[in-house]
Structure 1
Amino acid sequence: MEYVRLGATGLEVSRICLGMMSFGEPDRGMTPWSLPEDEARPLIRKALEAGVTFLDTANVYSAGSSEEITGRAIREFTTRDDVVLATKVHGRMRPGPNGGGLSRVAVLRELEASLRRLQVDHVDLYQIHRWDPATPIEETLEALDSAVRSGKVRYLGASSMWAWQFAKALHLAGERGWHRFVSMQDHYNLLNREEEREMLPLCADQGIGVIPWSPLARGRLTRDWDETTHRSENDAFGGRLYDEASDRAIVERVTEVARERGVPRARVALAWLLAKPVVTAPIVGVTRAAHLDDAVAAVDLRLTDEEVTRLEEPYRPHAVVGF
């Protein structure tokens, strides 16, 4: 495993981030394909033993169950200081007023709830899961700053939004003397490269670490185009992300390169992403040991310029999705 700094910070993270959305009780929340704790634990342990130290979860994953499983795994399989623990806030956690969003009430209350579920006294990276148009960004930023100053959060991150929104947030935080976002968790992979237009150049300019979600396009890049899985058949959100006719050609190019290299397709798709200078660590979800093996092996796979060109050539502009 390799380790790099998260953007311009001094925080060291593994080049692969383990996405904890794959782990959670299937009957809680909106991910019936997630693995219950008894199936999740061996995979989490294997990841930690392979040197993966960066774990990303969220309060909404399996209605809090993912955070609970993550916290218990950290206590049993490693030590708190040996992992970089990230979680997120924004999604609705309860019905009625103030049950979600990024108001000061929601940010600070959900932080406390996440800490209880994780059974830790702080998180290393606290991220806003999406932009909240109903709350002034100044209110959100001030609440996040107070969370850092309280010692319960070490760094702040953001996830999918328009580049102008992220630029505004970075500017306001600097202007007011608040802690700024240090990372961007955005939708970026071979099938959707729209972030290359504005968000990624902004992150490079501002020293922001990029930790893409869905780096394998919900598995689309790892299997034949018409093949389905239990997750793809039950993932309503993922079903809206990849249905462009041009995407099939890209999947076929990944298959060609993987066959020539004699490696699984997942390694090629991840190696392409890891070669992008602005990318710190893709967030990889795993439900089988082989998924983890491929993610770790991808760190050492170096694609040639010709292979990169072949993989990228079929791409056509897409509508922005995932916000």
Structure 2
Amino acid sequence: MVDTDMEYTRLGDTGLEVSRLCLGCMNFGSDAPWMIDDREQSEAVIERAIEHGINFFDTANVYSRGESEEILGDALDGRRDEHVIATKVHGRMANRPNGQGLSRRHVLEQADASLDRLGTDYIDLYQIHRWDDETPITETLSALDTLVDHGKVRYVGASTMSGWQFTKALYEADVNNFERFVSMQAEYNLVDRHEEANVLPVCRDQNVGVVPWSPLAGGFLTGKYERGEDPTEGRAADDEHTRNRFTEDNWAVLDEVRALADEKETTPVGISLAWLLAKDVVDAPIVGPRTVEHLDEQVAALSVSLSDDEIERLEAPKTPVWSREIGDV
């Protein structure tokens, strides 16, 4: 057993207890070169997470076209009720009409498919992966409400959208007495702070839990990349979104992260995650380790504390700005 003092919190204003770190399962699969593509190694990471006290796992139907859900379901077989499983719906799962989106048909169909792959009777947190411009939000909310009524879903959440869209969804849920979104997955880290000018104020005002994705900016905040060097390994070697973070403002942030890590005798990972964990709007950052060693380093961030002056120092190089183009990734 790993000796870890895991911390827990409530998700948003619900009574659901989740670990302060959520294990992201997008790496578990074979769709991209940066994924693990090794079931045994993936299960080892899940096992180490459980040893650390992590009880919150996030996946999606589109992650390697269901492979991630299958790996997670197999790993949790026999102890499913001890853990909180979150998955998502929206992306294309079939090359035909009604093969993607948030229509009632697709949402209900994909919920059943995810349940089968996960090997479970219920999903703790079912999230819409993106906004669907082609489907009325009331249709989507009605479908999610049906899933809760039938006991297939416990809570519903959302991910990556404009603040006005999320506000509209919360309003429509309230006036129609549909299940309300209790959480928001938002891209949020020290170099991607655009959501501070978009959806995070809505979450704070409405007591919606925030579960940040890409808390280490696709590996940029680990310090693995250097100015002026073309990445030949890691996610940036194959992912344009990660390479687009190689800006002078972001390098300036990383300079402060590295310097503060040296001063506090920790790592850039520890500093970057500690900054997120210090935000009162944040419930549980989604970490996506490829190895148990990476996970151990990420969990160690729970013991790192930052003063107000240190937080201000880390944030100084950038001013949060949001646009639809920034948020729609």
With the shorter chain as reference, the TM-score category is over 0.9
For 2:17, the equivalent position in structure 1 comes to 12
For 1:254, the equivalent position in structure 2 comes to 257
1:286 paired to 2:289:
yes
- Alpha-carbon distance in structure 1 between the residues aligned to 2:169 and 2:74: 34
Secondary structure (helix, strand or coil) at the match of 1:212 reads: coil
For residue 75 of structure 1, report the CA deviation from its aligned partner.
1.0
- Alpha-carbon distance in structure 2 between the residues aligned to 1:9 and 1:256: 38
For residue 322 of structure 1, report the CA deviation from its aligned partner.
4.2
Q: Which amino acid letter does the alignment assign opposite residue 234 of structure 1?
A: D
- Alpha-carbon distance in structure 2 between the residues aligned to 1:86 and 1:3: 16
- Alpha-carbon distance in structure 1 between the residues aligned to 2:293 and 2:252: 25
1:310 paired to 2:313:
yes
- Alpha-carbon distance in structure 1 between the residues aligned to 2:35 and 2:216: 17
State the Cα RMSD in Å. Answer: 1.3
Task: Answer whether contact 1:192 1:318 (CA < 8 A) is retained.
Answer: no
For 1:65, the equivalent position in structure 2 comes to 67
- Alpha-carbon distance in structure 2 between the residues aligned to 1:236 and 1:141: 33
Q: Which amino acid letter does the alignment assign opposite residue 150 of structure 1?
A: H
Q: Which amino acid letter does the alignment assign opposite residue 70 of structure 2?
A: E
For 1:39, the equivalent position in structure 2 comes to 41
Structure 1 residue ranges without an equivalent (≥5): none
1:230 aligned to 215, 229, 234, which one? 234
Between the aligned residues of both structures, percent identity stands at 52
TM-score using structure 1 length: 0.95
- Alpha-carbon distance in structure 1 between the residues aligned to 2:67 and 2:327: 23
Q: Which amino acid letter does the alignment assign opposite residue 143 of structure 2?
A: A
- Alpha-carbon distance in structure 1 between the residues aligned to 2:72 and 2:134: 31
Q: Which amino acid letter does the alignment assign opposite residue 74 of structure 2?
A: R
TM-superposition CA deviations, 1:261-308 (whole Å, max 9, x none): 111110100000000000000000001222211221111211112211
For residue 237 of structure 1, report the CA deviation from its aligned partner.
4.2
Q: Which amino acid letter does the alignment assign opposite residue 11 of structure 1?
A: L
For residue 317 of structure 1, report the CA deviation from its aligned partner.
4.2
- Alpha-carbon distance in structure 2 between the residues aligned to 1:50 and 1:159: 26
1:298 aligned to 285, 298, 301, which one? 301
TM-score using structure 2 length: 0.93
Secondary structure (helix, strand or coil) at the match of 1:22 reads: coil
For 1:188, the equivalent position in structure 2 comes to 188
Task: Answer whether contact 1:246 1:316 (CA < 8 A) is retained.
Answer: no
- Alpha-carbon distance in structure 2 between the residues aligned to 1:44 and 1:176: 39
For 2:51, the equivalent position in structure 1 comes to 49
For 1:128, the equivalent position in structure 2 comes to 128
1:269 paired to 2:304:
no
- Alpha-carbon distance in structure 2 between the residues aligned to 1:82 and 1:236: 37
TM-superposition CA deviations, 1:208-249 (whole Å, max 9, x none): 000000000001011143463332212244344x23321110
Q: Which amino acid letter does the alignment assign opposite residue 48 of structure 1?
A: I
TM-superposition CA deviations, 1:32-88 (whole Å, max 9, x none): 321121211111100111100000000000111000000000016xx1111000000
Secondary structure (helix, strand or coil) at the match of 1:196 reads: helix
- Alpha-carbon distance in structure 1 between the residues aligned to 2:220 and 2:321: 16
Structure 2 residue ranges without an equivalent (≥5): 1-5
What are the within-5 Å matches in structure 2 for residues 43-192 of structure 1?
A: 43-75=45-77, 79-192=79-192
Q: Which amino acid letter does the alignment assign opposite residue 45 of structure 1?
A: E
- Alpha-carbon distance in structure 2 between the residues aligned to 1:162 and 1:319: 9
